[in-house]
Amino acid sequence: METAAYAAMSAGAPLEPHTIERRDLRPHDVLIDIKYSGICHSDIHQAREEWFTSIFPMVPGHEIAGIVSAVGSDVTDFKPGDRVGVGVFVGACMECDNCKRGLENYCFKGFVPTYNGKDYEGTVMHGGYSSAIVVEDHYVLHIPDGIELDVAAPLLCAGITTYSPLREWGAGPGKKVGIMGLGGLGHMGVKHAHAMGAEVTLISHSPSKEEDAKRLGADHFLLLSDKQAMKDNAMTFDLIVNTVSAPIDLNPVINLLATDGTMAYVGLPDKPLEMSIFPLNMQRRRIAGSNIGGIRETQEMLDFCAEHGYASDVEVISADQINEAWERVVNSDVRYRFVIDASTF
């Protein structure tokens, strides 16, 4: 099926209109008419080859919300007209211990990414900056009725990526949680941590974001450059979820953690970070990593958002505004997720 899309034709090139082919439906496939596609900073890192060698032409996009338009013969959980989402991966081995535990995101064989990768047969995958996508049913999520599709799209990556570490390290009543960076991931982290009942602090390098942080659910705002405030908050956080996309000096941030506190890193800067081990050692602090979440947990997160009445704060744009939006993301000037109207591809 010929499908309209936007693609980067080479590393660092601006995105431009492009046509891709979607496969014919297999028995377990779902054909989705994409309505909205979120812009994640990972799209930019990969299209600019900031992490590793990428595959071009690249159609990015792994925050997909749309309507089912057809299903394969063996699909039982979805029907045409259903409101659905697709996130960062569209396949996994389903045989390894992690897949069996619902942790397809940590599949031993490596999951099949929604774009900038190949499936296990070697076919290059193309993502959500397009008008339709075909995905195996196991990797398709139900979007609850209470959430509109435009504000649902970012939940499929930014939403689950922050929800998973908050759950894993016990955010909740009586816990002091820091969310570092108020971008796409960070604003979802603030909303989730607030809904989970934690005391939430937004840790930022942008003084202009204090008001928004509090509107989104933060109890406190901590500016990284405010040396006195950083000192006053030392040794107080049980958990910090770090969403920062750029390489930064971690040493002052580690000191914010309480004894036995954890910093869960979800931001993926393009360069290694340098830090002293002493502040970790001296207070039995931990630095951990976390990568999106499994399918079961992603559905749990969508249902949690619906139950608590929130989703993403978005700015809807048309496809011809993607390049401009990417520049704003890189300049920390997104409030708080760009979402592309897929009817404009």
- Residue 280, C-beta contacts closer than 8 angstroms, at least 6 positions apart: 254, 286, 287
Out of ligand NAP, Zn ion, none, which partner does residue 69 contact, by CB within 5 to 8 A per kind? none
Determine which residue in the list 196, 244, 264, 325 makes contact with ligand NAP, applying CB under 6 A: 244
Out of ligand NAP, Zn ion, none, which partner does residue 134 contact, by CB within 5 to 8 A per kind? none
Start-to-end C-alpha separation, the chain = 15
Closest contact distance (angstroms) between CB of 188 and ligand NAP is 8
Considering beta carbons, is residue 45 or 176 the nearer one to ligand NAP? 45
Closest contact distance (angstroms) between CB of 282 and ligand NAP is 24
The Cα-based distances of 115 to 89, 92, 201, 331 in angstroms read: 8, 14, 34, 24
Half-sphere exposure of 229 (CA within 13 A, CB side): 12
Binding-residue total with ligand NAP (CB under 6 A): 30
Does the CA dihedral 121-124-129-131 come out positive or negative?
negative
Query: Residue 138's CB: how many other CB atoms inside 10 A?
Result: 14
φ and ψ of 200, to 5 deg:
-110, 130
Burial of 161 (0-12, 13-18, 19+ CB in 10 A): buried
Binding footprint of Zn ion on the chain (CB under 5 A): 40, 42, 157
C-alpha–C-alpha distance, residues 105 and 99, integer Å: 8
Considering beta carbons, is residue 40 or 149 the nearer one to Zn ion? 40
157 near ligand NAP, rule: CB under 6 A: yes
Determine which residue in the list 161, 233, 255, 262 makes contact with ligand NAP, applying CB under 6 A: 161
Considering beta carbons, is residue 3 or 233 the nearer one to ligand NAP? 233
Interaction mask 206-225, ligand NAP, x per CB under 6 A: x--x----------------
41 near ligand NAP, rule: CB under 6 A: yes
328 near ligand NAP, rule: CB under 6 A: no
Q: What is the DSSP letter of 62?
A: -
- Residue 52, C-beta contacts closer than 8 angstroms, at least 6 positions apart: none
Q: Which residues bind ligand NAP (CB under 6 A)?
A: 40-42, 45, 157-158, 161, 181-186, 204-206, 209, 243-246, 248, 266-268, 291-292, 329, 332, 334
